[in-house]
Amino acid sequence: MRLWPCSPFFSVVKTIINSLFFLLGAAQLANADARPNIVWIVVDDMSASFSCYGETAIETPRVDRMASEGVRFTRAYATSPVCSTFRSAMITGMYQTSIGVHHHRSGRGAHRIQLPDGARPVPEYFQEAGYWTCIGSGLPGVDHRGVSTDSDARGKTDYNFEWNAEMYDSHDWAGRANGQPFFMQVQLNGGKIRGDSAERNAALVDRMEAEFGAATDPESVELPPYYPRDPVLLRDWSTYLDSVRVTDWHVGRVLDRLKSEGLLENTLVVFFTDHGISHARGKQFIYDEGAHIPLVIRGPGIEKGETRTDLVEHIDVAALSLAAAGIEIPERMEGDDILAADYLPKRAVFAARDRCGEADDRIRSARTEHYLYIRNFYPERPHLMPSEYKENKLIIKRLRQLRSEGKVSELTERILFSPTRPPEELYLYKQDRWQIRNLADDPRYQAALANHRERLDRWIVDTGDQGPESLEVYILETEDQMQSTRNVASRERYRQNSELYKRWRSEGK
């Protein structure tokens, strides 16, 4: 029997269908209201320098409390140790090398980068599932540095691909509909608060004395053994630890706000940093100083006071967050739901460093239960390669000054100032905290070396590592970054450095 739109029977059927849709919509709304909120607290330039991770020079009671109320991962690693590539991987749940966003601050000028099919920023999935998406400081009237402000600025993105700003509804969850779940990224300035100069260090000392009662004593600092215990370096590290204290305070305020608004118990809070401390062997490099990060998660379904010692990667945060919200994890996503009941721990995790600014480089690593394997694709280049960003830092200037005065140790000379790098490095990283004893040439470890070499080769192929930029793309990217540099002297130094890298390419160095 054919039903015409004007027939009485059709009208009855239509009414029934509409009623079913209404009831289904109401059920979906009820389910949406019950779904957890998801909050990421993402911190710039900070290692696992918290009391719950063994830091003794300062106390971090808020992050420690969060760890006691949830799960603390002791071996979480960044797949890239610099902001934009880390964040591009974070927001897609993909290795930055797989999707072509692995060169720092790329795709923002004449050279544009589109995500490949199957890769999307996770806020889009949350929006489509009915979540309110937001990115900011997490505290109305307070900015990402923990400073009072009248601005309602959105938080840091720093993605190396074309993306739609409308994937974020706002800077804060306050604007959502009543009962609507939200996905919030709290973006904090972290280690950047300390700055790159003596003046910025001094300003933070003044702030700590005014707001926290005292600054951290430089003499209480433990430095990695390849950094001289020099007053400038000690003060820089102590102000870095003060930035950790500011971060801890901010985290506590965000958690307090969630509790006061009756949201905390139905909110999955994920706290992590985007890479390690900004230093000569930290940020931009894939030793523990640069790649090991804190990861603490609390919220519904999370066992309190748990410690996880298995290897995880920062791209897993995207997958576990979608799963917690009841959103299907995309088939192509490379991160894993590490909170799943049937999750099998990883046997290895991987990381990569590529071009950072004008500093043209390619490093890859594979890390297993006992070993960290690093491959330097350009071993004829020094560790402290010319870099306008790095060379402007007080700590790098001081290191170079101490070296020129003959005041650095043999270890410092070998680790930081060698004119070349070994093609391969192998460390028993749990026994060798700062990775200073390279075992790659030791006959006793050749089987382990071969095993990790094969693991890395397989990962590069299986994930479609897109490798180095062409010379043409390198020129486009560095020209764009030079044009965005306002300081004339800095721009000229950058230009000279980029010419050096182009020459090294032509020489096969």
Please report, rounded to a whole number, the percentage of residues in the chain having pLDDT higher than 90: 91
In a domain, 11, yes or no: no
Alpha helices of 432-470 — where are they, by DSSP H?
A: 446-462
Q: Find, among 159, 174, 168, the residue nearest to 123 by Cα.
A: 168
**Mean pLDDT, rounded, of the chain:** 93
For residue 7, what pLDDT band results from cuts at 50, 70 and 90?
Answer: very low
In a domain, 12, yes or no: no
pLDDT at 9 exceeding the cut of 50? no
- pLDDT of amino acid 302: 97
In a domain, 17, yes or no: no
In a domain, 2, yes or no: no
- pLDDT of amino acid 483: 87
- Residue 399 buriedness (CB in 10 A; 0-12 / 13-18 / 19+): buried
What CATH number should be reported for the domain holding residue 180? 3.40.720.10
- pLDDT of amino acid 151: 84
pLDDT, one tens digit per residue, over 252-286 is 999 999 999 999 999 999 999 999 999 999 999 99
- pLDDT of amino acid 14: 31
Q: Please give the DSSP secondary-structure letter assigned to residue 420.
A: S
Distance from the first to the final alpha carbon of the chain? 79
In a domain, 9, yes or no: no
For residue 33, what pLDDT band results from cuts at 50, 70 and 90?
Answer: low
Would you list the DSSP string of 161-185?
S---GGG--BSSGGGSPTT--EEEE
Q: Please give the DSSP secondary-structure letter assigned to residue 469.
A: P
Residue 56 has φ and ψ, to the nearest 5°, of: -110, -15
d(CA 93, CA 124) in angstroms, rounded, equals 13
Give the mean model confidence (pLDDT) for residues 354-370.
98
In a domain, 21, yes or no: no
In a domain, 239, yes or no: yes
Q: Please give the DSSP secondary-structure letter assigned to residue 355.
A: -
- pLDDT of amino acid 2: 28
pLDDT at 25 exceeding the cut of 50? no
Give the mean model confidence (pLDDT) for residues 412-418.
98
| 355 Cβ neighbours under 8 A, 6+ residues apart | 103, 104, 106, 361, 468, 469, 474, 477
pLDDT at 29 exceeding the cut of 50? no
Q: Find, among 121, 86, 111, 60, the residue nearest to 321 by Cα.
A: 121
- pLDDT of amino acid 203: 96
pLDDT at 3 exceeding the cut of 60? no
Tally of structural domains, the chain: 1
| 402 Cβ neighbours under 8 A, 6+ residues apart | 228, 230, 408
Q: Find, among 378, 368, 380, the residue nearest to 453 by Cα.
A: 368
For residue 486, what pLDDT band results from cuts at 50, 70 and 90?
Answer: confident
| 1 Cβ neighbours under 8 A, 6+ residues apart | none
Give the mean model confidence (pLDDT) for residues 220-227.
98
| Cβ proximity of 477 and 106 under 8 Å | yes
More confident residue, 21 or 96: 96
pLDDT, one tens digit per residue, over 64-102 is 999 999 999 999 999 999 999 999 999 999 999 999 999
Give the mean model confidence (pLDDT) for residues 215-222.
98
For residue 478, give the amino acid letter: T
More confident residue, 21 or 212: 212
Give the mean model confidence (pLDDT) for residues 441-456.
98
| Cβ proximity of 335 and 317 under 8 Å | yes
For residue 484, what pLDDT band results from cuts at 50, 70 and 90?
Answer: confident
For residue 416, give the amino acid letter: L
d(CA 352, CA 463) in angstroms, rounded, equals 12
d(CA 403, CA 91) in angstroms, rounded, equals 40
pLDDT at 6 exceeding the cut of 70? no
d(CA 222, CA 227) in angstroms, rounded, equals 10
More confident residue, 150 or 124: 124
Query: Which residue range forms the structural domain that includes residue 224?
Result: 27-507
Please name every residue paired with 187 in a beta bridge, in sequence order, or none if there are none. 42
pLDDT at 28 exceeding the cut of 90? no
Q: Find, among 163, 116, 107, 113, the residue nearest to 135 by Cα.
A: 163
pLDDT at 13 exceeding the cut of 90? no
For residue 298, what pLDDT band results from cuts at 50, 70 and 90?
Answer: very high
Please name every residue paired with 108 in a beta bridge, in sequence order, or none if there are none. none
In a domain, 117, yes or no: yes
| Cβ proximity of 416 and 384 under 8 Å | yes
Give the mean model confidence (pLDDT) for residues 288-316.
98
pLDDT at 240 exceeding the cut of 80? yes
For residue 46, give the amino acid letter: M
For residue 150, what pLDDT band results from cuts at 50, 70 and 90?
Answer: confident
d(CA 107, CA 101) in angstroms, rounded, equals 8
- pLDDT of amino acid 485: 85
